[in-house]
Structure 1
Amino acid sequence: MIISDAEQDLTVPTTPPPLAGLVDEYLRMLQNERGSSEHTLRAYRRELMDFAVYLAERHAAIVSADQIEHLHIRTYLGLLLERGLSKASTARALAAIRSWFKWLARTAHVQQNVASLVATPRLPKHLPRVPSIEQMNRVMDTVDDDAASWPSRDKAILELLYGCGIRNAELTGLNLNDIHWANEAILVRGKGQKQRLVPLGDAAAQALRAYLGERAARLNAKSEAKFGTKGPATPALFVSLQLRGLGKPGGEARLTTRSVGRIVKRLAILRGLSADVHPHTLRHAFGTHLLEEGADLRAIQELLGHERLSTTQRYTQLTTSQLEAVYDRTHPRAR
């Protein structure tokens, strides 16, 4: 019996599978050495424990990682597809298993990385639907009371997501001291706790200043009403409207990624954009519009914080006419 996203009703075995210890050891390495996020750790734990449970129930004779063959992995992936998982979800499961086996080989738990012999399911290529520059300007310029619960904050959120191209989790993780006004940049903590400085444009800086004034007033009023003192009380840059949890141990009133998703979707729909718009759509638009306006792909890669240029290429789109225009303008044999 496999525990998967498609089978939430299944229960976890009362006794851990034989390979659970190696899974836990690998996850500790990800957390301590690579600084992986809680989201990544949860996803890897789910995928790897599902695989370990599958081996324990379907191949009980396997009690060590070195006994696993590539056919076991291939059969497991086939079973996931039979259970209704998409090819994308199956590919993510394989990616987790491959990463685990890479570590197993490096730490001499296995002699051969058999996961490298398993092909990734062929995935359909879907380009994200990116709003035009005109559509984005319309949304950014019309954040007001009819569409936003806290207009200055929500406008600043949009300006940073689209104007800086940062991820949702990077946005909600920002603190006040991450804004480097003198350098006109923000310090962003990306995947694996990697840091990068991203330019802060004039529109984003203006929106941030307007929001920070209101933020300070709200926090002072809350602190004075509850504790009789004034002060910022939280390092979080973006805080929730009700400032829930403020004053409690560990309470920062920090806005969550889910709340940011709701804010972006509401503003986008009310301004005529597609209902499938989410914070990452603005990141796609950031890269695509930079490329359309002539930015170098390597520069966009640095701004987005991608390790591989191929990832940046997936985040950006050019129409056939744009490609033809670039060809006609630059290739010596085109004229």
Structure 2
Amino acid sequence: MKPTNSQLPSPLLSMLIEEFIDSLRWSNRSISTVNSYRHDLISFLNHQECKNEFTLLQFTPDALEDYFSKKSECVKPATLARYQSSFRSFCRWLIRKDYLQKNPFDTIEGVKVETTLPKANKQEELKRLFDVIKDRKDWIGKRDLALFLLLYQSGLRASEALSLKIGSIDFQLRTIKIMGKGQVEAIVPFSSQAARAIRAYLRTREESSKRQESPLFLSYRKRPLSYRQVYTRLKEYAQQAEVSDITPHTLRHSFCTHLLTSGRNLREIQLLARHKSIQSTQRYLDLSLEQTISAYRSSEEDLEI
């Protein structure tokens, strides 16, 4: 006689979390997104006394309420909201997979997060920043100039820039093929100033490291550059230039803000930044790639450093 669901032992939550994480990998989520989900969900297990034996049957609204209540005492509202988002997705997945009939997250009160505008640096601040970078004449200075010009003048995310290969660059069309958010491939234009900087940097590279599949940005040890290294380098330059509140991502925000203040169309900026708005306005846009690149070329001088 086949046992009913009620007679089967309750599965371990740790195993279900790993199954959920595997499903995210198969859906082409970025590595950082997958790692974020796993970190958030495993933190719940670490909060439990018997984390290795914690079962789905114990995954109740009370257990979640207790967890989020204690988390709220030690993390910021924005971080707590991210944790809740991870659990909301996990619970929906459990329902879809018929592991649960009722969603334990339904009774959890969502945390309110104050909406803030993205921070952007003033152009005079960025002028000082890039002047400092240009003053460094060795290969590291040339690498950093090429990298930070791409972040600011093309609005690349740091993760996108760090995943670039030499073969990703088309100097003739002045475009880069990137793997963007959600593992979506995109073609992004770059400026003539960035092109000169990239060429100057590549001239410092050994021939053996110039293969098409070689990472574009290398560390001092000739390994792929990491985000932490990029963040640290930018902060060092910013300190010398007396520029505060800057990160690799604020360079991207500055790209969007400065294009907007220079009079560019919001739709053009949305495509150039590869944003997906809450209203999903991008699907209504009919600008072609050629028109998008043309829009960038006409505003390229506005980004000159």
Tell me the TM-score normalized by structure 2: 0.78
Shift of 1:158: 1.2
The answer for the alignment partner of 1:10 in structure 2 is none
Distance 1:199 1:232, change over 3 A: closer
Question: Counterpart of 2:188 in 1: which secondary structure?
Answer: strand
The answer for the alignment partner of 2:248 in structure 1 is 279
The answer for the alignment partner of 2:200 in structure 1 is 210
Question: Counterpart of 1:214 in 2: which secondary structure?
Answer: coil
**Structure 1 residues 193-232: Cα deviation after superposition (integer angstroms, max 9, x where no partner):** 11111111121112111111122xxx24xx5xxxxxx964
The answer for the alignment partner of 1:144 in structure 2 is 134
Distance 1:300 1:231, change over 3 A: closer
Question: Counterpart of 1:115 in 2: which secondary structure?
Answer: coil
Shift of 1:140: 2.4
Higher RCO, 1 vs 2 (CA within 8 Å, ≥6 residues apart): 2
Contact 2:150 2:194 in 1 (8 A): yes
Question: Counterpart of 1:143 in 2: which secondary structure?
Answer: helix
Distance 1:214 1:149, change over 3 A: closer
2:18 to 1, 4, 24: 24
Letter of the structure 2 residue corresponding to residue 20 of structure 1: S
2:120 to 130, 149, 154: 130
Where structure 2 has 5 or more consecutive residues not aligned to the other structure, the ranges are 1-10, 282-305
Matched, 1:63 2:55: yes
Shift of 1:128: 4.3
Shift of 1:181: 2.4
> 2 CA distance for matches of 1:24 and 1:130?
38
Matched, 1:198 2:203: no
Identity of aligned residues (%): 32
Shift of 1:239: 1.0
> 2 CA distance for matches of 1:150 and 1:193?
29
Shift of 1:85: 2.0
Shift of 1:130: 1.9
Contact 2:158 2:249 in 1 (8 A): yes
Where structure 1 has 5 or more consecutive residues not aligned to the other structure, the ranges are 1-16, 224-229, 244-252, 313-335
Shift of 1:309: 4.7
> 2 CA distance for matches of 1:114 and 1:22?
15
> 2 CA distance for matches of 1:147 and 1:214?
11
Shift of 1:71: 4.1
Shift of 1:303: 2.3
Is 158-167 or 289-298 further displaced after alignment?
A: 289-298
Shift of 1:46: 2.0
Letter of the structure 2 residue corresponding to residue 32 of structure 1: W
Matched, 1:103 2:97: no
1:72 to 63, 72, 77: 63
Contact 2:142 2:197 in 1 (8 A): yes
Contact 1:173 1:236 in 2 (8 A): yes
Letter of the structure 2 residue corresponding to residue 41 of structure 1: V
Distance 1:163 1:308, change over 3 A: same
Query: Between Structure 1 and Structure 2, how many residues are aligned?
Result: 270
> 2 CA distance for matches of 1:311 and 1:151?
40
Q: Equivalent residues in 2 for 1:265-304 (5 A)?
A: 265-274=235-244, 276-304=245-273
Tell me the TM-score normalized by structure 1: 0.72
Question: Counterpart of 1:187 in 2: which secondary structure?
Answer: strand
> 1 CA distance for matches of 2:191 and 2:241?
23
Question: Counterpart of 2:246 in 1: which secondary structure?
Answer: coil
Matched, 1:177 2:156: no
**Structure 1 residues 71-94: Cα deviation after superposition (integer angstroms, max 9, x where no partner):** 432332111123x22222211211
2:45 to 52, 64, 70: 52
> 1 CA distance for matches of 2:268 and 2:25?
30
1:36 to 30, 33, 37: 30
Matched, 1:263 2:233: yes
2:220 to 217, 233, 241: 241
> 2 CA distance for matches of 1:99 and 1:195?
25
Contact 2:77 2:111 in 1 (8 A): yes
Distance 1:207 1:116, change over 3 A: farther
Contact 1:161 1:168 in 2 (8 A): yes
Question: Counterpart of 2:134 in 1: which secondary structure?
Answer: coil
Distance 1:183 1:111, change over 3 A: farther
> 1 CA distance for matches of 2:152 and 2:249?
9
**Structure 1 residues 56-79: Cα deviation after superposition (integer angstroms, max 9, x where no partner):** 659x8x7326x6444432332111
Question: Counterpart of 2:133 in 1: which secondary structure?
Answer: coil
